Structure 1
Amino acid sequence: MNVKWVNRRKSSHTRRVCMLIAALAITTLSATFDRVDAMDVWRTEDAVSATPADMFADLDAAHPCQFGPPSVPLRLAEAVNRALCGSPKTREAWANVKVQSAAVGAANSAYLPTVTANLQDVRDNTATDVRGYPSLSSANRSTVYSGSVAANWVLYDFGGRKAAQTNARALLAAALANQNATLQTMFSNVATDYYAAQAAAGKLRSAGETERIARDSFIAASARVTHGVAAISDRLQAETSYAQATFNRVKAEGDLSSTRGVLAADMNLRPDQPLTIPEIDDGVMPDEEFIASIGKMIDEAQSTHPAIAAARAKLDAAVANEQQTRAEGLPTLSLVAKVSQNNQPASLGLGEPQFAANGRDWYVGVQVQIPLFDGFSRTYKVRGAHAQVELQRDTLDEARQQVALDVWRSYQSLQTNTKNARTTAALKNIAQRSFDVAKHRYAAGVGSILELLSAQKALSEAQQQGVQALADWHAARIQLAAKMGQLSLDDLRSEQTR
């Protein structure tokens, strides 16, 4: 008797150890499948770029989106890469692509069966006390275990899974297009701020040159007044012009500091970060690269612009969502299976002792689920999904109109800035010659101080306009490419070589 009891204890202990090992193995396997970086059986991560900057990430860097101190001088390519890698907007768009790519994987997984395991090992203490009939009372203490494995495989659902898959893929396409649109917008904004800083640096240089010229004019006027060949008013007017030039130079210094701070903030740096920006090359003349048929440019933008692609993908997703909502109200056909085992004690009846027993159960079959009535909620869900389709159609039309208007405005701005850049180049040349003549005439005593100061002012204004016009032309080129949705690495390379 004692030997049998020991054997039973050993058998029970061995069985419980085996169940524990099986539970740990299943838990480990489940955790492996659920790990974020475990595996990508559907290869959805292929749609996710390696960095938030996507196609604009680092032209030559071995480690994308990893930067040291800003280069000296800071080039547009580096400024754009820093901004695109660190901007919260671009990182948000990048994260949304990750979310939607995972949703595609989840939609694909609906075509696979699901398997669930359930293991239980408990200490059971059951007592029944029948008043007045002690013979019917019973008490039982036992260790009960049970284990089961169930499988479910949806075979047919009238297109519900297919619609969900289409919806997820369309939303992923919309997220990718939105990421591209965000990058294009950020690129153009950073380029605009970069050229604004370049223009401020050029204006400061011009203001410094104007201040030097004004000082020379003041010295010349003072000398003539000292020698009695000019009235005191000449020196006062020259001194006034010199003071005004100094004021303009100080203001230009403040404007440069401000624009540099904005550019630093674009790159997620402190506004007081020292930046050295190359000067705008006066030798670069505007070209006719983007001067083409405006109608053709609008048509091209409306067919390829990422904002329109995103709106079109969202419309496809809304259509698929409506189909999925309708399919959810239709029957589903599934293959089901289950196998289970337990050692639940058995009793022949009330008052009878319980006996050790082993129970087994399994089944394999086909299950049909038919929704019959859901309180009319499906009707309203379908109506809501259809309304979302109409909303996305209107959003797509609005996106087309906005892109056409943006391209039109950018095209006109580029044409204007191209003409202005060429005009100011000629104006600067004329103003320089006019100042040289006025300066020579005043030194020879045949010209007035008003003539000299007027020519000096005209030269200063021409220099300022020339710097601003050239910066505006550079920015307008980038803006037009962005509004057409065609900014690429070539734009970074072309600007880097200027």
Structure 2
Amino acid sequence: MSARSTLKSAHLHRNTHSRLSVLIVPLTIGVTSSAWAMDPLLTSSAVSPTAAASMLDGSDADICVFTAVSNPLKLQEAVERALCNNPKTREAWASVKVQAAAVGTGRAAFLPTVSGNWQGTRDNVTNNVKGYPQYGSHYQTNLQNASASLTWVLFDFGGRSAALRNANALLAAAQATQRATLETVFAAVAKDYYAAQAAQAAFVAAREVEQTAGDSFHVATARVDKGVAAVSDELQAQTSYAEAVVNRTKAETDWQGALGTLASDMDLRPDVPLTMPAVADGVAPDHEFDSSVAELIEEAQRTHPAVMAAQAQVDAARAKVEQTRAEGLPVLSLVGKYSYNNQPTSLQLGFPVFPANSHEWYLGFQVTIPIFEGFGRMYQVRQAQAQTELQLDTLDEARQQAGLDVWTSYQALQGATKNVTNSETLLDIAQRSYTAAQRRYQVGAGNILELLNAQSSLAGAKRQRIQALTDWRSARLQLAAHLGRLDMRDIKTAPQLSEQP
């Protein structure tokens, strides 16, 4: 199997002194460059150019380059900033790149490995034979030693294939996890955006209620001054006005807190000035979720990114079992080597040293057979099987959670859709009731309690209308997120919001 020939000089070394200057350069074929600058095994196609490119429109390099925050802030911009800048999305993106590189490693196992070695030395050798100076020698020479070797695994009972399936499954899991992370961040920032918008609208409504309460207080004061109303009317109106001031202050505090949360979602400082568009009407039920809740649950349990990630982890665990078993079986490899050196040689002791060359090469097959591993392989297989069971349980949990999330968000959307109409009716009635009560009080036909009750009802109706609009938009996006359907179309096809702050 091997043709080896080596010339060696026979020297009787006594009091030998050598000074060597050695340069060893190992050469190995591989890829060592900046990330994805070279990708001969075509793994970079699994990695999006940016963390958010799979959900945002387009995939150019400038997709996550932003200028100043727009005024007012659009939901689309808030989502884009959050998807690009949120640490969780960047972590998920990095995980995909890690697993894509692991797939490249799995593919590389099917290719041969070639390595080279070169050694250059300055050899200074002196041999002194005591009592026989005629047999002594001294020489200086430059030595070179070069070799190249080849190893190519031809058959390993499916170990490499199982390792590659494991890497592909883990890559699929990382991609699904990235998608789930993007959708989670998408839904979270949309929820916070609507919360900030609602808080701003609540502040505007509280300010209007404060103004209305102030008007009622001035009317009551005027009637008391004219002697047509008791002083108790003025005090009750003043109490209502003071309460409206307190509510307006609290609403302003809640608004600023919601803006800070939204800014943090976009990886901005909480004190960055943000202006939200006003909550506007125009919300109307669509037909996107007309399927029965049972069909939606079944869809989520099949296609939600979290479920798909768990399924991919199961596939990876099963492949790992096969890989672990195969690693304990024989491996057939093609091996080859060629080497060269110019080590000088001598015919015998006392003769001068002559320049010489030595060549060696071999090409053949190598069979590696694991005979005994201390029962370690058996326990490694058991560990891989237990890991598979764990991933199956995780998959069941993911499916169960997906079904529950769809059920709760579907019910929330149904209730929010109904309350869009209910709150509109309530606000219309409360507005007409307050107008009538105000006129009655001004002409002396009504009393202060009637006016203040109508005023309080109107304030509550405004708050409920704002909440109903916000709840519908948020519930719609939350259901889309739990179904794994979120993308930028959910923003672009949503009802347009007023541009007026």
Q: If the length of structure 2 is used for normalisation, what is the TM-score?
A: 0.90
Q: Which has the higher contact order (CA 8 A, sep 6+)?
A: 2
Distance 2:222 2:157 in 1: 99
Is the contact between residue 76 and residue 496 of structure 1 (CA under 8 Å) also seen in structure 2?
Answer: no
| SS of aligned partner of 1:67 | coil
Q: Secondary structure at the match of 2:464?
A: helix
SS at match of 1:149: strand
Amino acid at match of 1:388: Q
Residue type of the partner of 1:236? Answer: L
- TM-superposed CA distance for 1:78, in Å, is 0.8
Offset, 1:365: 0.9
C-alpha separation in 2, matches of 1:341 and 1:304 = 60
**d(CA) in 1 for partners of 2:59 and 2:44?**
24
Confirm or deny: 8 A CA contact 1:157 1:333 kept in the other structure. Answer: yes
**Structure 1's 469 and 54: CA in aligned 2 closer, same or farther, altered over 3 A?**
same
Structure 2's unaligned 5+ residue stretches are 1-22
Change (3 A) 1:93 1:244: same
Task: Give the C-alpha shift of residue 30 in structure 1.
Answer: 5.4
Taking a change above 3 Å as real, the CA distance of residues 130 and 386 of structure 1, as seen in their structure-2 partners, is farther
Higher helix share: 1
RMSD over equivalenced CA pairs, Å: 2.3
- Whether the aligned pair in 2 keeps the contact of 1:75 and 1:496 (CA below 8 Å) is no
| Alignment CA distance shift 1:110-1:60 (3 Å) | closer
Change (3 A) 1:344 1:84: same
Describe the shift of the 1:287–1:425 C-alpha distance in structure 2 as closer, same or farther (beyond 3 A).
Answer: farther
Paired with 1:284 and 1:416, the residues of 2 have a C-alpha distance of 14
Q: Give the equivalent residue in structure 1 for 2:10.
A: none
Aligned to 2:462: 463
* Residue aligning to 1:176: 175
| Alpha carbons of structure 1 residues 411 and 199: separation in structure 2 relative to 1, 3 Å | same
Q: CA deviation at 1:166?
A: 0.6
Q: After the TM superposition, which of the residue ranges 133-142 and 299-308 deviates more from structure 2?
A: 133-142
Deviation, structure 1 residue 38: 4.0
Could you tell me which residue of structure 2 aligns to residue 225 of structure 1?
224
CA contact (8 A) 2:53 2:59 kept: no
Q: How does 1:230-249 map to 2 (within 5 A)?
A: 230-249=229-248
Partner of 2:215: 216
Structure 1 unpaired stretches of 5+: 1-19
Q: What displacement does 1:270 show? A: 1.0
Equivalent residue of 1:405, what SS?
helix
Look up the equivalent residue of 2:214 and give its one-letter code: R
Q: Could you say which residue in structure 2 is the equivalent of 1:310?
A: 309
Partners of 1:286 and 1:421 within 8 A in 2:
no
C-alpha separation in 1, matches of 2:172 and 2:318: 14
Question: Alpha-carbon deviation of 1:72?
Answer: 1.6
Contact 1:55 1:489 in 2 (8 A): no
Q: How far apart are the structure 2 equivalents of 1:35 and 1:64?
A: 21
CA-to-aligned-CA distance 1:19-56 (integer Å, 9 cap, x gap) = x9xx99x96x9587655444212221111112111232
Query: Which residue in 2 is equivalent to 1:261?
Result: 260
Instruction: Give the match for residue 91 of structure 1.
Output: 90
In structure 2, relative to structure 1, the CA distance for the partners of 1:132 and 1:381 (3 Å cut) is farther
The corresponding residue for 2:156 is 157
Q: Which residue of 2 aligns with 1:338?
A: 337
Please name the residue that 2:362 is paired with. Answer: 363
Question: Structure 1 residue 200 and structure 2 residue 199: aligned?
Answer: yes
CA distance in 1 between partners of 2:154 and 2:163 (Å): 15
Could you say what secondary structure the match of 1:340 adopts?
A: strand
Q: Does the 8 A contact of 2:52 with 2:89 survive in 1?
A: yes
Q: Distance in 1 between matches of 2:402 and 2:443?
A: 60
Task: Note the 1:63-74 alignment, pairs <5 A.
Answer: 63-74=62-73
Query: 2:430 is matched with which residue?
Result: 431
- 3-state SS of paired residue (2:210): helix
Q: CA–CA distance in 2 between the matches of 1:308 and 1:32?
A: 35
Letter in 2 for 1:85: C
Structure-2 residue corresponding to 1:421: 420
Please give the alpha-carbon distance, in whole angstroms, between the structure 2 residues aligned to 1:262 and 1:192.
11
The equivalent residue for 1:405 is: 404
Q: Output the CA distance in 1 between the equivalents of 2:349 and 2:59.
A: 84
Cα 1:361/1:98, change in 2 over 3 Å = same
Matching residue's letter, 2:191: T
Return the alpha-carbon distance in structure 2 between the equivalents of residues 379 and 125 of structure 1.
55
Q: Deviations over 1:219-277 (max 9, x none)?
A: 10000000001111111111111111111111111111111111111111111111111
Deviation larger for 456-465 or 122-131: 122-131
Which amino acid is 2:62 matched to? H
Once the two structures are overlaid, the 10-residue window that deviates more, 411-420 or 53-62, is: 53-62
Deviation at 1:281, TM superposition (A): 1.1
Counterpart of 1:379 in structure 2 is 378
In 1, Cα distance between equivalents of 2:72 and 2:95: 35
Segment drifting more, 119-128 vs 175-184: 119-128
1:9 equivalent in structure 2: none
* CA-to-aligned-CA distance 1:341-368 (integer Å, 9 cap, x gap): 1011224456655332110011111111
- Kept in 2, the 8 Å contact 1:93–1:179? The answer is yes
Q: How many Å separate the matches in 1 of 2:454 and 2:411?
A: 32
| 1:409-459 per-position Cα deviation (integer Å, ceiling 9, x unaligned) | 111111122222222211111111111111111111121111110110011
8 Å contact kept, 1:190–1:266 = yes
CA contact (8 A) 1:58 1:78 kept: no
CA distance in 2, matches of 1:62, 1:93: 18
Superposition deviation, residue 137 in structure 1: 5.1
| Structure 1 residues 83 and 340: alpha-carbon distance in aligned structure 2, compared to 1, 3 A threshold | same
Corresponding position of 2:388: 389
The yes-or-no answer on 1:491 pairing with 2:490 is yes
How many angstroms does 1:62 deviate by?
8.4
Aligned residue number for residue 108 of structure 2: 109
Deviations 1:46-99 (A, max 9, x none): 111121112322579983111001112211111100000011100111111111
Q: Distance in 2 between matches of 1:105 and 1:236?
A: 79
Q: 1:384, CA displacement in angstroms?
A: 1.0
> What amino acid does structure 1 have at the position aligned with 2:468?
A
Shift in alpha-carbon separation, 1:50–1:473, aligned structure 2, 3 A: same
How far, CA to CA, are the matches of 1:35 and 1:257 in structure 2?
44
Q: Give the match for residue 79 of structure 1.
A: 78
Q: Distance in 2 between matches of 1:61 and 1:212?
A: 50
C-alpha change, 1:239 and 1:90, in structure 2 (3 Å) is: same
| Paired residue secondary structure (1:121) | strand
Structure-1-length-normalised TM-score: 0.91
**Alpha carbons of 1:401 and 1:383: their partners in 2 closer, same or farther (altered >3 Å)?**
same
Flag the 1:277–1:34 CA change in 2: closer, same or farther, 3 A.
closer
Number of equivalences: 476
